[in-house]
């Protein structure tokens, strides 16, 4: 499958990986919107959040747990941060492989869109 994030998972495309385990991989966003901007993605390809069912509840829980640990590692846990999943075209999703944005290190806008 010609998916850029699958290519990052396989190592075909280089990325600045900050964490990986058997289920997920996390790397720095190539176009950061905040001083800390990481992406946590499942190794398995899901096109978007809409592909997940109750069966994958453990995966989302794990992604949030990893995101929280990374926020602590990056020193933004105390000041606050934002976890975002864009889903589909009108949700602002550009890369069709499920990913959780971890953003912080500056005052983020209160606007949701």
Rg (CA), the chain: 14
φ, ψ of residue 100 to 5 degrees: the values are -110, 120
Region binding ligand AMP by CB under 6 A among candidate stretches 22-30, 56-64, 69-77, 105-113? 22-30
Minimum distance from residue 74 beta carbon to ligand AMP (Å): 16
Cβ neighbour number for residue 11 with a 10 Å cutoff: 10
Q: Retrieve residue 3's tokens.
A: 């998916």
Cβ neighbour number for residue 27 with a 10 Å cutoff: 20
Question: Count residues contacting ligand AMP (CB under 6 A)?
Answer: 13
**Residues with catalytic function:** 99
Task: Check: CB of residue 82 under 8 Å from CB of residue 108.
Answer: yes
**x-or-dash pattern for ligand AMP, window 33-72, by CB under 6 A?**
------x---------------------------------
Q: Give the three-state DSSP class for 63.
A: helix
Binding status of residue 94 toward ligand AMP by CB under 6 A: yes
Nearest to ligand AMP of 15, 18 (CB atom): 15
Minimum distance from residue 46 beta carbon to ligand AMP (Å): 13
Nearest to ligand AMP of 12, 55 (CB atom): 12
């Amino acid at each position: 499958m010609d998916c850029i994030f699958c290519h990052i998972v396989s190592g075909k495309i280089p990325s600045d990986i900050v964490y990986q385990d058997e289920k997920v991989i996390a790397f720095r966003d190539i176009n950061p919107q905040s001083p800390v901007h990481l992406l946590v993605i499942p190794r398995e390809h899901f096109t978007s959040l809409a592909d997940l069912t109750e069966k994958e509840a453990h995966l989302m829980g794990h992604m949030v747990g990893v995101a929280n640990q990374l926020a602590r590692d990056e020193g933004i846990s105390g000041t606050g941060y934002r976890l975002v999943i864009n889903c589909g075209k009108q949700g602002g999703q550009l890369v069709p492989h499920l990913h959780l944005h971890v953003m912080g290190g500056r005052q983020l806008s209160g606007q949701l869109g």
